[in-house]
Structure 1
Amino acid sequence: MTTTVLERVKMENQYAKLFEAMKIGKMTLKNRLVMAPMGTFTPMQDGTESEEGIAYYEERARGGIGMIIIGAQFLNEKTAQGGPTMSVDNNRAIPKATVLCERVHRWGAKICAQISPGTGRNGMPDIGERVPISSSENPSFYNPEMICRALSTEEIKDIMKDWAQAALFAKKAGFDAIEIHGHAGYLIDQFLSPIWNKRTDEYGGSFENRARFAVETVQTIREAVGPDMPILFRISLDHRFEGGRTIEDSMPLIELLEKAGVDALDIDAGAYETMDFIFPPSYLGDACMGYVCEEARKHVSIPLLNAGSHTPETALQLVNSGNCDFVMFGRQMIADPEFPKKLMENRREDIRPCLLCNEECIGRVFNRTTQISCTVNPQVCMEKYFQIEKTSSPQNIVVIGAGPGGLEAARVAALKGHHVTVYDKSETLGGTFGVIATGPFKKRIRDLITWYGVQLSKLNVQVNLNTEINVDDPILEAADKIFVATGAVPFVPNIPGIESSHVLGVVDAHQNGVEGEKIVVCGGGMSGCDTALELALEGKQVTIVEMLSECARDVMVINKISLMRQLAENNVTLLTDSKVVSVDETGVTIEKKDGTVELVPADTVITAFGQKPSTDFPDAVRKQYNIKTTVIGDAEKVSKAANAIHTGFYAAMAIE
C-alpha cells in the first residue's frame, strides 16, 4: 500500500496528535486546533459582515485550522453595549453570513457562531442603553458610580426569545455550531456568580437558581436548532480575584451544563477584574490558563477546549495529558493564519510567532475603535488588498538596518521577487528591538528575530552584518530602491554625573549585563519598567525613578495590569513625581514634587529616558537619492515595533 508525501509527513510529525480528527457532538473536526473567538470590528453599520471580515476568516480557514469560532455576536444592539457585530436579530444579515460560512467551508474548516446576550455591567455606558443592565444592581465596571439596572423576569423571557431567533439565524446562515458566551464576567456570568447575583427570585439565591439563566439559554437554543447542531459553552473557571468564582466553585456549574445538553466546554480563566487573563500579555508566559483543565476533566466527559497563549509544544503537552481535547489559538492565528498548515507539514521554523503584545489587535479596538490588525502581520483584515504578488521586473533593493522594519521590508521585497541585500553595522539581526529582548517575558521577540533570519535565508536575501554603509558608498548609487531603517538613538539629558562609569544606557545594560545589587533605573516608561522587572527577577534590588505621576504610561493598558503586578510582586520600588537632578558614585539624587531632595543609593544606574530618531544618515541619503529612498520605522519617527514592521511592509509593497 502506497502513501502520499503528505501522509508520510504526518506520520513523521511530532505534532501528529494535534491533527487527529475529533468530534464535538455529531460534528467532526479535521484536527484538534481551533481558532479562539476574537472580535474583529469588521461588521458594517447595517449589521452585515464586511468583505474585510470575510476575507480575514477565510484566510485562516485556508491555513488549515480545524474550526473557527468567530468573535461574540450580540443578541441585539440594546443589550450589547459593545462593538459592532453581525445583527443576529435580523434576517437581512443572513446572506452575508452565509457567504462567510461557505468561504470557510471551502477549505474544510468548521465555523462556530459565538453569541452573547450582552456585556452587562461590563458594558460601556455610552453604547446601547444609557444605564448598563445586569443580573442585579451592580456597579458598572467602567464607571463604578453608575449602578446597573437589574433585568426583570419579563426581560429575561424576552432574551430567551432573542436567543431562539439568534440560534435560527446561525443555523440558516450555515454555521456548524453555536457557542454561548458565558465568559469573562459578561451578562451570563453575572447570573452565575454570587458576587454579582444578589437576586431573590427564581434567578438568584441557590446554585440552581443562579444557573437557571444559563440552563434556559442552552435549552432554548436546543429547541430552536434541533438535536444535531452542537452547542458549546465558554466559561471562565477561575476569576482570579477576591470574591470571584474559583475552580472549585465552577465544577458544579460545568456538571450542570453537561446535563443541560452542552456538547463541549471552552474553558479558561479571568474576568474584567483580571483583564490581563482575558488578553494575556507576554508577562504571563505560555499556556497561562492550561491549569484549569486538569480539575475540569474529573467532572465532565464532554470535550474540553482551552486557550491562553499556547505554543505548538504546550498544545501537544496538554492534549497528550488527556486533560483537554482541543487547543485554541487566538492571536497566533492572527499573526500567522497558515500556522496549522505549517505545523502539519513539519515546517515549525516557518511559523511567525505572535508577540502577545496586544498593541494592534485588542489595542486597536480599545484605543481606536477600529478593525484589528497585528504588529507582526500587516495583512490582517486587509487580505484582499495586501496580497504579495511576484513581479515580472525584479529590482535591486538595498536595506540599511536589520531591525524589525528593515527585516520586514527585505522579506516582503524578496517574496515579490526582487534582489535584496541587507546591511547592518552590528553583529546580529534585530537592531535595538533584538538587543533589549533578553528577559524571559521577551522570548517571543527573540523567536521573531530568529524567524526573520530563517525566512531571509530561504528567500536568498544577502545579509551583511558588521557592515556600515555611508552616503557615498557605490552600493547606494547602484541600487534601484533604498530602504533606510537605521532606527533611533537614546535620549540622554544633561544631568550632572550622567557620564559616570557606573551609569549604563538601557541598551548597554541588556547587551552587556548589569553588575551590583542595588540598581536605579532612571525613566519609568515601558523600556525602563521591563528592564527593572528583568533585573528584579534576577534577584536584584531595583528602584525606578519617574518624573511623571505614574510609571508605564506608554504600556498598553491590559499589559500594564500584568507588568505593574509583577513589579510589585518582585519588590521593585516606584518613585514617581521624582526628577533626577544628579548622579554620583553613591547613587541618584532626586527632587520630589514637593521640592524635597533625596538620595537613592545605587551600585549601578541605568538611564531609560527614551529615544530619538537617528536622522543624520537618513537625511543625507534622502538628500542625495530622494526619489528612490524610503525611510522606515524609528529612523523616521520613534514608535513601537508595529510601526517599524508596518512601514517596512508598505515600503516593499510600494515597489511596482
Structure 2
Amino acid sequence: MAAGTFDHLFEPYTLKGVQIRNRLVVPAMGTNLGNEDGTVSQRLIDYYAARARGGFGLIVVEGVAVNPTGMCIPNEGHFWDDANIPGMRKLVDAIHAEGAKTLLQIHHAGRQTNPANIGGLQPIAPSRIACPVDNVLPREIPTEEVYRLVEDFGNAALRAKKAGFDGVDIHGAHGYLIAQFMSGHANKRTDEFGGTFEGRMRFPLLIVRSVREKCGDDFIIGFRMSYDEKVPGGRTLEESLVVAHQLEEAGVDLLDVSIMTYASTEYMSANGALPNGYNQFATEKIRSSVGIPVIAVGRITPAMGDDMLRTGKADFIAMGRGSLAEPALPAKLREGCIDEVAPCISCTQSCLGYILSDRIYASCLVNPVTGHEGEYDFTPVEAPKKVLVVGAGPAGLMAAKTAAQRGHHVVLCERSGEFGGQFRLAAVPPTKHDIAGAIRYYVTMCKKYGVDLRLNTPVDEELMRSLAPDAIVLATGSVPAMPPIEGIDNASFLSVADVLDGRVLPGAKVLIAGGGMSGVETADFLSEHFRSCTVVEMRPDIALDEEYTPRAFLMRRLAEKGVQAITSARITRFHDDGIDYEQDGEAKSARGFDNVVLAMGMRADNPLETAARAITDEVYVVGDARHAGPANKATEEGLAAGLAI
C-alpha cells in the first residue's frame, strides 16, 4: 500500500500548547510490567519507549493508584506519595526522547479489586455492593473520606506534573471507583454524592476541578469514560452525552470514550464477535456534543481510523491491543508497509489472559517480544548458520522469521500445500477470522528476511542430510489424541480438521466428542450451517480452555443456536451413530447421530528428533511437537529458538 494512504492519521494536533505529532494513541492498559513494590521498572520503560520509537503520537501510561486501596493488579504503580516521582521522570524522559507526548492515568479501583492486591485491606466503594466479578464485599466510603479521595486524585496529578508528564488521564471508565460513583448500578448513596444524576456526578467534577487548581492551565486533563456500562441500571449513551458536556464545563481538555465495567469485560477486550469500530457511532455522538477533542477506541483498523478522522467521528484513534502486537505500527503505516504490521487477532490469550493469571505480565500471541523489549537481542549474528525449520505452523513460522531476521540462512519445509498448520484451521469458526491475518503476516516477514519457503515438502532423514543444516528446528505439530475407548477406531468418524478444512460436510445431526476449545468451536461452526450439535465433555462445563472474552460471546451463540452439552460425562464406548457414557455414576447413551466428530485433544507429533540429533547437535523442538498446547506458547517457543540459534 502506498505511503500517504493514512494522511488523516498523521496530521499533528496541538492541545494546551502541546503539539502531538499524529492522531495515533497508545491508551492506558494495565501490563503488570512494573516492579512488585509499585515502582517503575526498566521493563516498563522499555515497553513504552518502544511504542514511542514506533511513532505513536500520544502515549497514555497505564493507571497508577492514588492511594493504597486503589490497586487492581499486583504491580500497579504507587502514586500516593512522592517516592515514585524519580522513576516516573525516567519513564517520561524515555517517551519524550522518542518524540511522543504522554499522559499518566490516575486511578482507583474501588470495589473492582480484592484484598490480595491492596495489602489485605477491604476494598472501598460508594455503596456496600460487591463487584459481580471480584465478589468481595466493600466498605462504604463515609462522606468526609470522599472529599479526601478528591484530594488524593488532585495530589497524584500534581506529582505527574512534577515528573514531567504533559497531562493526566482521569480514569472514570470501566467500572472503577469514579465510574462507580457515576453509575446507578453501583451508587445507592443518599448523601451529596448519590441519589440523583447531579449527586452521582459530584465526585468526578470535584476531581477535575481539584486537578485544574493544583496543576494550572498549562496541563492537559483527559478523562476516560464508558459511554455504556452494559449492565442493568448502568449508564448508557443517553446520559453519557450529558456527562461529557459537564466534564467539558468542569475543565476537561480531552475525552477518551470507552465502554463496559468488570461485569461486562467482554465489551472492552473484545474479540471478533464485535465488529471493527463497534464504538465509533457512539463516539461520534459524544464528539458532536462537546467542543473538546475525543479519543476513539474499539477494534479500529488503520483504514477505519483514518476514515473516522476524515468524517469527524473522533480526533484521535487509540489502538490498544494493536500497539501490543505492533509497537512500530505508525512507522510502518507511514512507510507504506501495512503488510508488515503484526496484527492483533483479538484472541486475548497473552494480554488479558496473562493479566488475569496470577502476577503475570501482558504480552502478545502474535508478537511475544511484547513485554521483553529490552531483553531480546535481534542484532545480526557474526557467523550466520544454515537453519532448517520443519513445519509451517505458528511455532515454525516464528522460528524461521526470527532466525532469518538475525541473519541466518533459513529453509522452511512444510509437508502440506498451505501455511499455518492447525492455526490456519482455527481461523475457520465464526468470529475467528483475524487469525488468518497473523499467518499472512508471518509469511510476509519470512519472505522479507529471505526465508526459503518450501510447501509440499515432507521432511525425512535423507532430506535433512542433503540440506546439511547447522541447526534444525522441529515444529512438526500435533495429531489428534485417541484415548483407549472401545469403538473409537472407526473409519467413519470425523476429525475437527475434516470439518474445518472443508473435507466433509457432516449430516444434520452431529455428536462432538470433546468439549474443549476445538470441539466447541467446531460446534459453533456447524450450528451456523444449521446442523444440530451435541457436545460431550468430561469436565463440568464446555469451552473451559477458551479465554474469558471470546468465551462470553461463544457461549451466547451456542445457546441461541440450540447447541446441547452433556457435561461431567465419561465416554465408555463409541458406536457408529453415537456413544455410551457414564454420568454421575449412571450409565447412559446418546445415539441416532449422522456423524461423530472426535475432538478429544491433541498429542505431540515429533517423529524426526532422533534423526535430527544424528545430523547436528543444535536441535530445537517447539510448539505442539514439544507439547500440544495453545498457540501463544507455540509462538513464544518459536521466538526463543530463533533467538538461541
Could you say whether these structures have the same fold, taking a TM-score greater than 0.5 normalized by the shorter chain as the test? Answer: yes
Deviations 1:98-157 (A, max 9, x none): 1111111122211110111x211111132325321000111243454x431111122112
Contact 2:16 2:220 (8 Å CA) reproduced: yes
TM-superposed CA distance for 1:45, in Å, is 3.8
TM-superposed CA distance for 1:528, in Å, is 1.0
Letter in 1 for 2:389: V
Residues 440 and 24 (structure 1), Cα distance of their counterparts in 2 relative to 1, 3 Å cut: farther
- Residues 507-656 of structure 1 aligned to structure 2 (within 5 Å): 507-511=497-501, 512-622=503-613, 624-625=614-615, 627-655=617-645
Question: Is the deviation greater in 464-473 or in 170-179?
Answer: 464-473
Using the alignment, how far apart are the partners of 1:608 and 1:25 within structure 2? 58
TM-superposed CA distance for 1:279, in Å, is 1.7
Q: What is the alpha-carbon root mean square deviation over aligned residues?
A: 2.0
Contact 1:82 1:119 (8 Å CA) reproduced: no
Contact 1:81 1:125 (8 Å CA) reproduced: no
Which consecutive unaligned segments of at least 5 residues does structure 1 have? 1-7
Residues 48 and 548 (structure 1), Cα distance of their counterparts in 2 relative to 1, 3 Å cut: closer
Residues 373 and 503 (structure 1), Cα distance of their counterparts in 2 relative to 1, 3 Å cut: same
Residues 307 and 476 (structure 1), Cα distance of their counterparts in 2 relative to 1, 3 Å cut: farther
Aligned match for 1:294, one of 280, 284, 290: 284
Contact 2:364 2:632 (8 Å CA) reproduced: yes
- Residues 260-271 of structure 1 aligned to structure 2 (within 5 Å): 260-271=250-261
Give the match's secondary structure for 1:405. Answer: helix
Instruction: Verify: 1:169 aligned to 2:154, yes or no.
Output: no
The match for 2:323 is 333
Using the alignment, how far apart are the partners of 1:31 and 1:242 within structure 2? 38
The match for 1:125 is 115
TM-superposed CA distance for 1:351, in Å, is 0.5
Deviations 1:188-236 (A, max 9, x none): 1111111211111111112111100000000000111111211111111
Instruction: Verify: 1:137 aligned to 2:128, yes or no.
Output: yes
Using the alignment, how far apart are the partners of 2:463 and 2:33 within structure 1? 47
TM-superposed CA distance for 1:477, in Å, is 6.6
Instruction: Verify: 1:208 aligned to 2:201, yes or no.
Output: no
Aligned match for 2:147, one of 153, 157, 160: 157
- Residues 481-496 of structure 1 aligned to structure 2 (within 5 Å): 481-496=471-486
Using the alignment, how far apart are the partners of 2:98 and 2:467 within structure 1? 47
Using the alignment, how far apart are the partners of 2:459 and 2:366 within structure 1? 27
Letter in 2 for 1:438: V
Aligned match for 1:432, one of 398, 408, 422: 422
Contact 1:268 1:290 (8 Å CA) reproduced: no
- Residues 202-281 of structure 1 aligned to structure 2 (within 5 Å): 202-281=192-271
Aligned match for 1:37, one of 17, 28, 37: 28
The match for 1:52 is 43
Contact 1:36 1:330 (8 Å CA) reproduced: yes
Aligned match for 2:358, one of 368, 393, 399: 368
Deviations 1:51-93 (A, max 9, x none): 1110110000000111111111110223335332333222222
Instruction: Verify: 1:308 aligned to 2:298, yes or no.
Output: yes
- Residues 186-201 of structure 1 aligned to structure 2 (within 5 Å): 186-201=176-191
Using the alignment, how far apart are the partners of 1:241 and 1:569 within structure 2? 20
Using the alignment, how far apart are the partners of 1:166 and 1:256 within structure 2? 22
Using the alignment, how far apart are the partners of 1:125 and 1:299 within structure 2? 40
The match for 1:392 is 382
Aligned length: 643
Question: Is the deviation greater in 35-44 or in 585-594?
Answer: 585-594
Contact 1:34 1:69 (8 Å CA) reproduced: yes
Contact 1:185 1:271 (8 Å CA) reproduced: yes
Residues 387 and 282 (structure 1), Cα distance of their counterparts in 2 relative to 1, 3 Å cut: farther
TM-superposed CA distance for 1:457, in Å, is 1.5
TM-superposed CA distance for 1:497, in Å, is 4.6
Contact 1:137 1:148 (8 Å CA) reproduced: yes
Question: Is the deviation greater in 627-636 or in 538-547?
Answer: 538-547
TM-superposed CA distance for 1:9, in Å, is 6.3
Question: Is the deviation greater in 355-364 or in 322-331?
Answer: 355-364
Using the alignment, how far apart are the partners of 1:597 and 1:504 within structure 2? 23
Letter in 1 for 2:242: P
TM-score (norm 1): 0.94
The match for 1:3 is none
Letter in 2 for 1:267: V
Deviations 1:428-454 (A, max 9, x none): 111121133213422221111111111
Contact 1:124 1:142 (8 Å CA) reproduced: no
Deviations 1:265-309 (A, max 9, x none): 111221111111222233334323334213323422221112122
Instruction: Verify: 1:90 aligned to 2:81, yes or no.
Output: yes
Using the alignment, how far apart are the partners of 1:498 and 1:103 within structure 2? 60
Give the match's secondary structure for 2:156. Answer: helix
Using the alignment, how far apart are the partners of 1:85 and 1:92 within structure 2? 14
TM-score (norm 2): 0.95
TM-superposed CA distance for 1:244, in Å, is 2.0
Which consecutive unaligned segments of at least 5 residues does structure 2 have? none
Contact 1:272 1:278 (8 Å CA) reproduced: no
The match for 1:359 is 349
TM-superposed CA distance for 1:169, in Å, is 0.8
TM-superposed CA distance for 1:606, in Å, is 1.4
Give the match's secondary structure for 2:70. Answer: helix
Using the alignment, how far apart are the partners of 2:9 and 2:362 within structure 1? 28
Using the alignment, how far apart are the partners of 1:502 and 1:244 within structure 2? 52
